[in-house]
Amino acid sequence: MSDQRRVLIVDDYEPLSEFLKISLTDRGFDVTTVGTGAECMELIRSGFVGTVLLDVRLPDTSGLDLLQAIKLENPILPVIMITAHASLEVAVEATRRGGFDFIPKGTQITERLEVSLKNAFDHLHLKLKVLEYESSGSADKLNFSNFLTVSPRMNDLMATLRSVVNSDVAVLIEGESGTGKELIARAIHSNGSRSAKPFVAVNCAGIPETLLETEMFGHEKGAFTGAASRRTGRFEAANGGILFLDEVGELPMSLQAKLLRVLQEKTFERIGGNTPIQVNVRIISATNRDLMEEVKAGRFREDLFYRLSVFPVRLLPLRQRAEDIPMLAEHFLLKYKKEEGKDIKGFTGPALDILKSLRFPGNVRELENLVRHAVIVATSGEITDTDIQTTLRNHGIQIAPQPGGGAPQPAGYYAQFKLRDRLAAVFPTFESLVPMEALQDEYLRMAVDAAGGNVTRAARRLGIGRATMYRRQKVGE
């Protein structure tokens, strides 16, 4: 990670560049100094990776032109401009040409530089990580580095996952929608000993029970009206490989029993058949519910739960690892600017600030959609806060000011997400839960407010009687 410490100082005023060299070397940076634009470009062309500190006035060229030349040669290098003659125009022009920061020469220069360099290297690190991913990530060769994350907790998780890729233990991946459950399941497959064998997914949600059963186990010819020929199910298709049971929490009770039997006996019969079929599949399942809660509520068989969750994995919602947002946004930007054929360098700071402040009930998928949309609406070479706001508005999100003037928060657009995810966005942790009664009182009051004070209308919307509403005696207090 030596790239993380390399600094190139381009300044013809030797006393200053020597002073900076000494103080930055002291702080652990690996510093090179040059006095001209020509020398600077030579180093950049020969593959320098690090942060450039650039004086605005140079003997052979202007710092602003040099900035542009550096950006053309290697757009990911952060360039910090330093100048004795700070002026707003130059600062604006530097930003427009892709400068990372602008620092006036003065007494505070080392302190300011230290902060700026830290940000610059964070930025560079993300860019490098995304690039590495882009170059390694041909679609059929998934690996764990496809799951981009800088969150320490998620990285620990990835490390433990690597230890089970070659075993046959059943993995249960829990996480809200859009947290990357399927991505992880596929990564386990392509990194493990079954990678040459099929990865077959079954979505257990939203299919009528009988269809789902056919889907999983297949049927014999004439098994039922319309079964004109024999059909093999997903279990057979996955033989030797991995069967991915998506949304396993939605599996109907009768199929839970059947699945359990298959897992215990490793054989099953097609519907309408009686020849036992032997299969060797590894099961990975995913759910956006808390499956243990489903067990407690009597909706999911406990014995099946233990079979499926030999190795449980819980993916954090994006809002609990906001540090991942800039890198993921950058990653999706690279993806969609190519698709849209647009030349967009990155996000402005305020644009990233908005992204970081959102709750993302739809997690990474939602971020991906937002970035994609922002790429489409962007009119300049960067995605600005205005572009993000336009995107949010187009998605039906009003950025309402938070009470107390906090970060902007979308309102009114959560309707597209499951109630459970919406609640999870408001009560993300055990500690944040409030007593039932308090929640109910507040909800009733809110409903009446939203109905413009019309109790009857509010009651109708909530599906309760007016009398009940009044009986709670909280309304209109």
Ligand X SMILES: Nc1ncnc2c1ncn2[C@@H]1O[C@H](COP(=O)(O)OP(=O)(O)OP(=O)(O)O)[C@@H](O)[C@H]1O
Interacting residues toward ligand X by CB under 6 A: 147-149, 175, 177-183, 288, 328, 331, 364-365, 368
Residue with smaller CB distance to Mg ion, 182 or 441: 182
Per-residue tokens: 356 = 């970081």
- How far apart (Å, rounded) are the C-alpha atoms in residues 414 and 400? 13
Q: Considering only CA atoms, which of 85, 106, 84, 103 is closest in space to residue 95? A: 103
Residue with smaller CB distance to ligand X, 231 or 418: 418
Dihedral (CA of 124, 125, 130, 134) sign: positive
Question: Of 182-190, 257-265, 312-320, 438-446, which segment contacts Mg ion by CB under 5 A?
Answer: 182-190
Which of ligand X, Mg ion, none is residue 175 near (CB under 5 to 8 Å by kind)?
A: ligand X
Per-residue tokens: 269 = 């019969």
Residue with smaller CB distance to Mg ion, 100 or 244: 244
Considering the rule CB under 5 A, would residue 182 count as an interface residue with Mg ion? yes
Report, in Å, the least distance between residue 313 CB and ligand X. Answer: 11
Residue with smaller CB distance to ligand X, 173 or 281: 173
Q: How does strand 231-232 pair with strand 218-219?
A: antiparallel
Per-residue tokens: 345 = 């360098």
Which of Mg ion, ligand X, none is residue 384 near (CB under 5 to 8 Å by kind)?
A: none
- How far apart (Å, rounded) are the C-alpha atoms in residues 49 and 28? 16
Other CB atoms within 10 A of residue 349 CB: 11
Q: Considering only CA atoms, which of 173, 172, 183 is closest in space to residue 148? A: 183
**β-bridge mates for residue 383, sequence order:** 347
Q: Considering only CA atoms, which of 69, 61, 121 is closest in space to residue 98? A: 69
Report, in Å, the least distance between residue 177 CB and ligand X. Answer: 3
Question: Of 70-78, 176-184, 227-235, 375-383, which segment contacts Mg ion by CB under 5 A?
Answer: 176-184
Report, in Å, the least distance between residue 450 CB and ligand X. Answer: 28
Per-residue tokens: 29 = 């940076």
Other CB atoms within 10 A of residue 107 CB: 7
Contact assessment for residue 355 and residue 387, using Cβ atoms and an 8 Å cutoff: no
For residue 297, give the DSSP letter: T
Q: Is 390 exposed, middle or buried (0-12, 13-18, 19+ CB in 10 A)?
A: middle
Longest dimension (CA), the chain: 91
Residue with smaller CB distance to Mg ion, 38 or 205: 205
- How far apart (Å, rounded) are the C-alpha atoms in residues 144 and 162? 8
Helices first, then strands: H and E counts in the chain: 20, 18
Q: Considering only CA atoms, which of 36, 3, 45, 42 is closest in space to residue 17? A: 36
For residue 317, give the DSSP letter: P
Report, in Å, the least distance between residue 420 CB and Mg ion. Answer: 15
Residue with smaller CB distance to ligand X, 51 or 177: 177
Q: Which residue is nearest to Mg ion (CB)?
A: 182
Residues with Cβ within 8 Å of 155's Cβ and at least 6 positions away in sequence, in order, are 149
Residue with smaller CB distance to ligand X, 29 or 144: 144
CA distance readout (Å), 221 to 6, 229, 271: 69, 4, 9
Which of ligand X, Mg ion, none is residue 147 near (CB under 5 to 8 Å by kind)?
A: ligand X
Q: DSSP alpha helices (H): ranges in 137-266? A: 152-162, 181-191, 209-217, 234-237, 253-265
Q: Considering only CA atoms, which of 387, 376, 382, 388 is closest in space to residue 75? A: 382
Which of ligand X, Mg ion, none is residue 54 near (CB under 5 to 8 Å by kind)?
A: none
Contact assessment for residue 291 and residue 300, using Cβ atoms and an 8 Å cutoff: yes
Binding residues vs Mg ion (CB under 5 A): 182
